[in-house]
Structure 1
Amino acid sequence: MYQTSAPIRFALGLALATALSTATAADCPEPAAPGPTPYPTVAVTDYVLGCMIANGPNPDTLRKCACSLDFIAAAVPYADYERVETLMRLQQLEGVGRNAAYKSAPWAKEAVAHFKEVQAESTLRCF
């Protein structure tokens, strides 16, 4: 969902490792039970790192971002998440060419709108 440059990913990875190494068991909320269709590690990492870029690289934000993705994963099967992520990337492309169908098609608009509603709800619950 979010794209970052290599230096930013490295810095956030370092911040994430530091945050995890300084957190104690009492600092961490009870982990969510895995859903019937767990997201791949790459998707989880990409979402959480992008969320931390947007909200600040610290242990509290790490927990909030992970909570947000846990909420999304419980509401949106991974196949749907992957489709919406692709749609959103295509919609960000400049120009009127091949991506026009992804910007104006009702099915695409509905899929993105539904995902954004779930994401907004996750923000309300986790932040």
Structure 2
Amino acid sequence: MGTATVAARGDDINDYPTNARVEYVFGCMKANGETRQTIDQCSCSIDVLASLLPYDRYITAETVLSMSQVRGNLGGQFRSSEQANSALNDLRRAQAEAEVRCF
């Protein structure tokens, strides 16, 4: 799935559940400071991310991030899989765009 395809699908399917948005904002605030301005920036960031990346692709990338930290063969499969790397790259591109727009 190319980047343009991901962006087009993300615009059509803004289906991130509220709890996923809240978890993202909490994590973002933990990493960037817990101020009123950071709430706005982190909220903007998840909105941008959701507009660029379908929720199922976001979940895939988050799973890859989590599982790639597991030691041994299981973690290795998540670190070296082409599909896992593709999902992770899509997430990183969306996060970079959110950074530019919101921070």
* Preserved contact between residue 55 and residue 61 of structure 1 (Cα < 8 Å): yes
Question: What's the counterpart of residue 123 of structure 1?
Answer: 99
Structure 1 unmatched runs, 5+: 1-33
Q: 1:89 aligned to 2:66?
A: yes
Question: What's the counterpart of residue 34 of structure 2?
Answer: 57
* Preserved contact between residue 53 and residue 90 of structure 2 (Cα < 8 Å): no
CA deviation after TM superposition for structure 1 residue 49, in Å = 0.2
CA distance in 1, matches of 2:12, 2:47: 9
Query: In structure 2, what residue type is equivalent to 1:68?
Result: S
Query: In structure 2, what residue type is equivalent to 1:87?
Result: V
Question: What's the counterpart of residue 18 of structure 1?
Answer: none
The number of aligned residues is 93
CA deviation after TM superposition for structure 1 residue 121, in Å = 1.1
Q: Percent identity?
A: 35
Instruction: Please report the TM-score for the alignment, with normalisation by the length of structure 2.
Output: 0.83
CA deviation after TM superposition for structure 1 residue 35, in Å = 6.1
RMSD of the alignment, in Å?
1.5
Instruction: Give the greater-gyration-radius structure (CA).
Output: 1
Stretches (4+) displaced over 4 A:
none
Question: What's the counterpart of residue 110 of structure 1?
Answer: 86
CA distance in 2, matches of 1:60, 1:35: 29
